[in-house]
Amino acid sequence: MADNSSDDGLAKSLADYPDVREALIRKLNAEALAKETEAEKLGLERDGGVILLSGMKRDEADTLAGDRFHHVYQFSQQVGDGSVNNCIERLSKWSRQDPGCDIEIIFNSPGGGVIAGMALFDFILYLRRKGHNITTLALGHAASMAGILLQAGTTRAMGSEAWLLIHEISFSAVGKIGEVEDTTEWVKRICKRVVKIFADRSKLSAAQIEKRWKRQDWWISSDDCLKWGLVDEVR
């Protein structure tokens, strides 16, 4: 049988000293409150950690789902020095970080400068020679120089409602007659190279292309592009 004499004695002693008893009760209550507050604090910190972790996981999921992680480049600007340099810089980074990775370039562009565009064209071919599978995809429209860039891909694709624009290169020249004639001859040489790019990767001959694009814009639907071999697939 348990001996409760000591507890009884303590209770009688506290009863004899009410001030001590009240002080002890206040101390015990304060300690209990402190422990409860600490528990709530730890709970809040734990909850905050869960919230932070969830945010980190969400950011990671967004990154993994993003175009940069999957090596998809959206080219929706006019073709020029700035847009081409940005694209080359991004493709170069992907090539260094993930050698031989698949890359997709989506064009929805009105075209632009032929010299800047040809720099990107050559760089895409360079990446292909390094073992990268490059898919070029036209959504909306790939006009003028963007249509030429579409031909650089390992696989060329178009959206079902996308359009390809092919036309002669436009230019302006100022100077002496000889200088203007020299510039004109240079542009004609570029035109022949562009015609060769389209002819080499399609079912159309150089003569057919030159006949169709001369002095007019030639807008080609995705179905006709597929039929004539200007793209490999329509999505």
Residue 157 and residue 83 in one domain? yes
Residue indicated by tokens 């020029």 = 80
| Exposure on the CB side of residue 21, measured as CA atoms within 13 A | 9
CATH assignment at residue 207: 3.90.226.10
Q: Which amino acid is at 5?
A: S
3-state secondary structure (DSSP) of residue 100: coil
Residue 123 and residue 11 in one domain? no
Provide the domain count of the chain. Answer: 2
CA distance 1 to 148: 100
What domain range includes position 25?
5-63
Residue 29 and residue 118 in one domain? no
Residue 77 and residue 188 in one domain? yes
Of 13, 30, 63, which residue is a domain's last?
Answer: 63
Sequence-ordered list of residues with C-beta below 8 angstroms from that of 86, at least 6 positions apart, any chain: none
Q: What is the pLDDT of residues 70-120, one digit of tens each?
A: 899 999 999 999 999 999 999 999 999 999 999 999 999 999 999 999 999
Residue 58 and residue 107 in one domain? no
DSSP state of 79: B
Residue 185 and residue 90 in one domain? yes
Task: Return the percentage of the chain with pLDDT > 90, whole number.
Answer: 56
Q: What is the pLDDT of residues 182-206, one digit of tens each?
A: 777 877 888 899 999 999 999 999 9
